[in-house]
Amino acid sequence: MKTTLFVYLLLLSGFLFSQSVLSPALVSELGKHEGYYINVNIYFQSHYDINELARNLDAKKASFDFRTKSVNDLLNKNAEISLSEFAVCLDFILNQDSRAVGKIKFFRAANALNIEIKPNFVYYLADQKSIRFIDINSARYKIIGTERVLSSEPKLVGGTEPGLKAINAHKLWEKGYTGRNILFLSMDTGVHATHPAISDNFAGNYLPLSQCWYGIRNPKPVDNAGSSHGTHTTGTVLGLDKTTNDTIGVAFNAKWIASDPVASSDSDLLTPADFMAVFDWVLNPDGDETTSDDVPRVINNSWGYNYDLALNFGACDLPEAEILVTIETAGICSPFSAGNEGPGAGTTGFPAMLAYNIVNPMSIGAVNGNSENFPIADFSSRGPSLCVEEEGRLKIKPEVVAPGVSVRSASGASSYSYLQGTSMACPHVSGALLLLAEAFPMASAYELKLALYETAIDLGETGEDNIYGNGMIDALAAFDYLSNIYTPAPPITNEYDLSLELTSSEKSFVCQDEKFLNTQMKIKNLGENPINGFNVKVYLNEVIVCDSTINESIVEGSSFEFLYPNLELSAGENYIHGIVKPLEDLSEYDRFNNGFNHRVFLLSEVDSSYYQNFENISNLDNSEFVIINPDYRTTWSMLNWGENDEHKAIGVNFLEYTPKNWNIDDLYLPEITMPAENDSMFLSFTYAYKRRTLNLYKDSLIIEVSTDCGLSFDKILFAEGGENLATVEGNSNYKFYKPIEASEFDTINISLNEFKGEKLVIRFRTKNDNGSVLYIDEMKIGVLDNSSIYSNKLVVQEPEIYPNPTSDIIFVKIYESEEFVNIYDLTGRLVLNQKVYNEISKVNLGDLTEGVYFIHFINSGKTKKLIKK
């Protein structure tokens, strides 16, 4: 009765007093969650005002370092007070109902808290003076819609994209400003870190991954969008393929870090809490508030949600976007795409539609940078802002425009494509801001953005308007504008430059007898002057294991060998990070090449027998297996099978690969020692696979063995692909295949008798062709057991080749002692012949051009069509 009365009073109090504290979206949801938790974000009153801090920092002309530290200090003070006050509320609620609250997480950057709570307690919270606003934590942010125009090959050597010249980026290059030593953050769908136009610029090559990648969707850097949206925008900011000098980016010597909260479709939307977590990380990526060189100077934001959805959310009054004031106060530039809802008036999306000042948020429209007069793109969202009532500059949107039509940039793992949208315009602005930040390190984020805004080239109607804003950005004019306020910092020269590289083995995994690594490093003086002493630190899994000061000089052009012996690895994944710094405070030509970051796996070890049915494994990351996933995308994972998912297996869902790029993924078993005497040792496993459709989408499975801990895999134990991989009849078409019965699995038994007394590393390798789903179960190394409930694999005696099509090699499987293979082109000309032997052999097609061939088996008289891609 007491609890009932309390709830009634809460509801009455809420209806009378709390409506202005609760968002309309939350009010409409409260009645729908009776008896269940509702997920809400609570925004607290801030005792220390970020706007007052901003004014003080501006008056002092504070440095970027001082700004970031001051902002972090203010956030910590507010957090301490807010959490202390909330603790009283929480105690009261839990005394009423011990199960009233679920998960809780606090976000410093927004002075906000995400909580799972029973709805009847929300009104109580809304009446607390310490609480400013409560909103439902619903999914809402995604990329500003883009249109893929066409794919393309890389341009000729020395090419420069026209949009870069349209904004006069090349004029700053000529002055020596290229973004060197400036850090950029891609807050997008993720980034393909291995793309050749941006791979060298990834800060994670030199620094711990935890301060270079904040993955919400994926623990490793990868682009989650089929359009490679985040890779494309990052390429426009700083891309340059050094092998061809193909310049696609504005600030091609900047380094990048990234996060992946932005969705590419409605089904992948994340919540404000997810974004607040990213912003928390942005303000302190390395976890050390005494440093600022880890904090990005510019964030690109080609995301948001459209204006009508924003109005439905009451977005103009949502405090979640006020985090942008905090970001700007910290010295970070954070421009936003205006949206692609044009050409109607008032179509600027959220948060670009807001206006905390005339350049925050800085909204970016799109023009055709390939055309001399820079016409506005039809799709580019227009102003005025629907969040500003008073007429004036604050109401006008966008602030500026930049090239956003048919923009060519990085796509996929190594290709290029044209995309268009304000998403493509925004990174031109981000790149220009990086160039200006290099030239004017003392300028605030507001001043850097204001310089582009005030010097933009007027387009359309005379003066600022709701189509072009203040006009097309001009990096050179902005440079001249800032030169009237600050003396430009001279482009850094190669006077001092200390580098560090790992020179000992860079194997991706090691065995137990290599558990204690001798870590050999080379310290080079790449500069023009001697370095008089330096400090070397070595970290293992972000724990410092070595801190050594060397009081020796390294003259220019020379190097110093440094050895840290017996670095003890842990089972599974390990990261070794090294960093060297001069003892003197020197401005280095490249502040990032002072470090390296190397990942190495330590294989576990088992004796002469091994069995795994996967029933007790929930996560492969914590298992005895090592997975090498070069593209950080789809790979080996745990899969369920059976009528009610009652069984577990390991496998690969080839359907998930986007885009298809013949992706290779490796699964390594623990190292195993074969007995010296036993003659009946076998590798046994069961597998299930259903083809997608006949003669297409031919995935492959290859099993190889190494006797030298992975230095070479010369022996192929098993190789199947295409039609021959199938264990059941029929096609899965585009559906996810899941075995229901054990009879859908085939059993493979492979003799290991030739490896008596040796240590083996067995590798299961898959090659993707977007076919179907592969399941592997009942994995065993030991004496052959014929009591399996699974069906035995029937051996097809006809010669087999796979994968087909292929880009490099094929595997030839025969059932005779030897065979002669001839390969002919379409004219009948013999282009390759090779002798192959019993079981499986490799045939290298690397010297053949792409096209159709015929492979003829002389002994059996069989001929098959072969496609080289």
Amino acid 183: pLDDT = 99
Residue 772 lies in a domain: yes
Residue 689 lies in a domain: yes
274 shares a domain with 382: yes
The domain boundary, picked from 108, 136, 164, lies at: 136
DSSP 569: P
Report the CATH number at residue 864. 2.60.40.3080
Amino acid 12: pLDDT = 45
CA gap 375, 467 in Å, rounded? 10
729 CB neighbour count, 10 Å cutoff: 7
Output the six-digit token pair for 622.
Answer: 């914590």
Amino acid 156: pLDDT = 64
Amino acid 791: pLDDT = 40
DSSP-derived 3-state class of residue 20: coil
Report the CATH number at residue 535. 2.60.40
Q: Which amino acid is at 771?
A: G
751 shares a domain with 841: no
243 shares a domain with 270: yes
Instruction: For residue 567, give the nearest of 594, 595, 544, 596 by alpha carbon.
Output: 544
Residue 267 lies in a domain: yes
* Residue 421 CB contacts under 8 Å (≥ 6 apart), including other chains: 144, 145, 146, 147, 302, 337, 340, 366, 379, 404
Model pTM score: 0.86
Amino acid 521: pLDDT = 95
* Residue 702 CB contacts under 8 Å (≥ 6 apart), including other chains: 716, 718, 719, 764, 765, 766, 767, 811
CA gap 830, 855 in Å, rounded? 10
Contact assessment for residue 186 and residue 410, using Cβ atoms and an 8 Å cutoff: no
Query: Tokens 């905390």 correspond to what residue?
Result: 356
Query: In the chain, helix, strand, coil percent, each to 5?
Result: 25, 35, 45
138 CB neighbour count, 10 Å cutoff: 16
163 shares a domain with 33: no
Q: Report phi then psi at 220, rounded to 5.
A: -125, 155
DSSP 234: H
The domain boundary, picked from 136, 155, 182, lies at: 136
655 shares a domain with 508: no
801 shares a domain with 784: no
424 sits in which H/E element: helix 422-439
Residue 595 lies in a domain: no
DSSP-derived 3-state class of residue 378: coil
Residue 800 lies in a domain: yes
Q: At what angle do helices 445-454 and 422-439 cross, to 10 degrees?
A: 120
717 shares a domain with 664: yes
Output the six-digit token pair for 734.
Answer: 């585009």
Amino acid 145: pLDDT = 63
CA angle (120, 121, 123) in 5-degree steps:
90
Residue 490 lies in a domain: no
329 shares a domain with 244: yes
CA angle (768, 268, 661) in 5-degree steps:
20
Residue 599: Cβ-neighbour burial (10 angstroms; 0-12, 13-18, 19+)? middle
Number of domains comprising the chain: 5
- Residue range of the domain that includes 656: 606-793
Residue 671 lies in a domain: yes
132 shares a domain with 8: yes
DSSP-derived 3-state class of residue 427: helix
CA gap 350, 308 in Å, rounded? 9
DSSP 696: B
Contact assessment for residue 166 and residue 207, using Cβ atoms and an 8 Å cutoff: no
Output the six-digit token pair for 249.
Answer: 């980016």
Contact assessment for residue 225 and residue 296, using Cβ atoms and an 8 Å cutoff: no
The domain boundary, picked from 136, 170, 189, lies at: 136
802 shares a domain with 787: no
Amino acid 109: pLDDT = 97
Residue 497 lies in a domain: no
Contact assessment for residue 231 and residue 412, using Cβ atoms and an 8 Å cutoff: yes
DSSP-derived 3-state class of residue 434: helix
Q: For the CA atoms of the chain, what is the radius of gyration?
A: 30
CA gap 719, 527 in Å, rounded? 51
Amino acid 9: pLDDT = 47
Instruction: Detail the DSSP E strand segments found in 254-368.
Output: 255-259, 298-300, 303-304, 336-337, 363-367
pLDDT mean for each 10 residues of the chain (869 residues): 44 51 89 83 97 98 98 98 97 95 97 96 95 92 63 73 98 98 98 95 96 94 89 98 94 98 86 96 97 98 85 83 97 98 95 97 98 96 94 96 97 90 98 99 99 98 97 99 98 96 86 92 97 96 95 96 93 94 96 95 89 90 88 90 94 83 90 85 94 85 93 89 89 89 94 91 93 94 62 52 85 78 80 80 86 80 80
Within 13 Å and on the Cβ side, how many CA atoms surround 281?
Answer: 23
300 shares a domain with 184: yes
Q: Dihedral of CA 156/158/161/162: which sign?
A: negative
Output the six-digit token pair for 207.
Answer: 């620094």
300 shares a domain with 342: yes
CA gap 571, 649 in Å, rounded? 22
Report the CATH number at residue 473. 3.40.50.200
